[in-house]
Amino acid sequence: MNSDNFNLSEKIVSPSYIRQGSQARRGHEQLIRQLLEQVRSKLYFVSSYHCSEDTSSFMLCVLQGKCPEEGWSESTVELFLSELAVMDSNNFLGNCGVGEREGRVASSLVARRHYRLIHGIGRSGDIAAIQPKAAGSSLLNKLTNSVVLDVLKLAGVRSVASCFVVPMATGMSLTLCFLTLRHRRPKARYIIWPRIDQKSCFKSMITAGFEPVVVENVLEGDELRTDLEAVERKIEELGAENILCVHSTTSCFAPRVPDRLEELSSLCSKHDIPHIVNNAYGVQSSKCMHLIQQGARVGRIDAFVQSLDKNFMVPVGGAIIAGFDESFIQEISKMYPGRASASPSLDVLITLLTLGVCGYKKYLSERKEIYSFLAEQLKSLASAHGERLLHTPHNPISLAMSLDGLQANSDKAVTQLGSMLFTRQVSGARVIPLGKEQTVSGHTFRGFMSHSESYPCPYLNAASAVGITREDVTVCIKRLDKCLKTLKKEGGAVSSSDQEVSIGE
């Protein structure tokens, strides 16, 4: 309520109590102020130096805010969202609409779940543009991007210059990056891609209309690592000008490990080739983020893309496109034709305001601890069953345990283990048999799912991803132990309820 209304209230309820209440309200306003202020001050600084009159560069500069240190209470968050909502024209009490897009909502369930923020984000020309009809939604969009940028810095990519949230998953966001590069390199047809067996990465290139050049990984110990020489060979073979970009990966399933970003970035720099990094769930790992920071320092990274859901525990459907050169990131944002859903932005903003920097960091450090715990537990389970934990020290999130014995026992046992785990509600544990072949968009991958044409053994993956609990690990190990025992006993004669279930990506 404004001061007039507080004054009126003092006439109804005792003034000293109302003053106390009004002071309490200021507490919430103060938090909002801090959020807004950070954004503004950075803007000021920047605009006096190199911002032109052009509105879009103006907007870009804004992206320099802060995520609050301490998380907000739910009541502050909801108060803030309802404040944003009343600033959108669909919530104006006296509005009359005679356009074709007026933020009308037929279902009150729908209106409510979006906090009455209906206009989405962006305009025809640019997903980062401000909407005249929707000052609240526009503010939401700016704030989200600036808070997210701050978190990317805190998570390790200290020199990131710009980013924006896009309501598309990682794959489609990568596609958007490639489509943007096309305008810079109209002749280029190829994308150099150190193999990672995840369909959407591969398809992101196909969809953009390019030809992926698959570079097989090299086996070092148990680890599958980037074959730098092969990459350079390919560049020379195809000609730098014909190559759209190198498309590398950080977070991935063991025994593959993050690509050698430093070296790849240097290579790109040397050959003047753009470099796009798929950092799908890498924000949660300081190692992955460090690789990006280093890559950008010593060489060239044009953009790195990360999933919202996997890193920030929000529903599937959003990604962050980030980079070190403001103008290129802005170019990508202008490439998105038309408005877009505000839903992923809203989710991540609510989440980050609720957690605060402290809360998010706590999640990250717990994840790290549980990674060690999971490694330990898997190791002793493995040894109990005559298997071993693969040695993959460069992968900070995913682990792999060999299934040699199981394979020896019965051909079907490995895939059966997958089905059994699925039925027993162990989700996310992947079983990788030997020698699976799969054709994706015309390209045939031998040894599919293992990132290698012929990995030496079948194995099982488990990951310690942000939000995991100790109990997840304990229960998983217990059930896995049971399944392995059952399979050994039965020697393949498994109950019908455990028929094969396809549970890949």
- Residues annotated as binding site? 101, 123-124, 131, 297, 339, 424, 489
Task: Tell me the C-alpha distance between 67 and 65, whole Å.
Answer: 7
Q: How far is the CB of 229 from a copy of itself (least distance, A)?
A: 29
Q: Does 43 bind a copy of itself (CB under 8 A)?
A: yes
Q: Which of 48, 54, 96, 439 binds a copy of itself (CB under 8 A)?
A: 96
Site string for a copy of itself, 163-182 (x = CB under 8 A): ----xxxxxx-xxx--x--x
* Torsion sign, CA atoms 234, 239, 242, 247: positive
Nearer to a copy of itself, 265 or 311 (CB): 311
Instruction: Please tell me whether residue 162 binds a copy of itself under the rule CB under 8 A.
Output: no
Binding mask 211-250 for a copy of itself (x = CB under 8 A): ----------------------------------------
β-bridge mates for residue 218, sequence order: 225
Instruction: Tell me the sheet residues that pair with 437.
Output: 446
For residue 466, what is the enclosing H or E element? none
**In the set 239, 337, 386, 435, which binds a copy of itself (CB under 8 A)?**
337
Q: Which is nearer to a copy of itself, 121 or 245 (CB)?
A: 121
CB of 266 to a copy of itself, least distance (A): 28
Q: Does 155 bind a copy of itself (CB under 8 A)?
A: no
Minimum separation from the CB atom of position 6 to a copy of itself (A): 9
- CA–CA dist 496, 500 (Å, integer): 9
- Dist. CA 363–CA 373, nearest whole Å: 15
Residue 258 sits in the site that holds a copy of itself (CB under 8 A): no
Kindly report the number of other CB atoms within 10 A of residue 356's CB atom: 16
Find the shortest distance in angstroms from Cβ 30 to a copy of itself.
Answer: 8
Reduce the secondary structure of 180-238 to three states and give it as a string: HHHHHCCCCCEEEEECCCCHHHHHHHHHCCCEEEEECCEEECCEEECCHHHHHHHHHHH
Shortest distance (Å) from residue 467 CB to a copy of itself: 4
Interaction between residue 455 and a copy of itself (CB under 8 A): no
We find the least distance from the C-beta atom of residue 223 to a copy of itself, in angstroms, to be 18
Which of 133/388 has CB closer to a copy of itself? Answer: 133
Number of residues in contact with a copy of itself under rule CB under 8 A: 172
Our finding on whether 464 is near a copy of itself (CB under 8 A) is yes
**What's the burial of 351, exposed, middle or buried (CB within 10 Å: 0-12/13-18/19+)?**
middle
446 binds a copy of itself (CB under 8 A): no
**369 binds a copy of itself, rule: CB under 8 A:** no
DSSP code of 50?
A: H
- Report 341-360 residues binding a copy of itself (CB under 8 A): 341-344, 347, 350-351, 354-355, 359
Strand partners, 121: 340
Instruction: List the one residue from 51, 60, 67, 142 that touches a copy of itself (CB under 8 A).
Output: 142
- What is 103-171 written as a DSSP string? ---S-HHHHHHTTT--S-B-BTTBTTPPPTTBHHHHHHHHHHHHHHHHHHHHTT-TT--EEEEESS-HH
Is 439 an interacting residue with respect to a copy of itself (CB under 8 A)? no
- Residue 55 host element (H or E): helix 55-62
- The verdict on 101 binding a copy of itself (CB under 8 A) reads yes
Alpha carbons within 13 angstroms on the beta-carbon side of residue 103 total 30
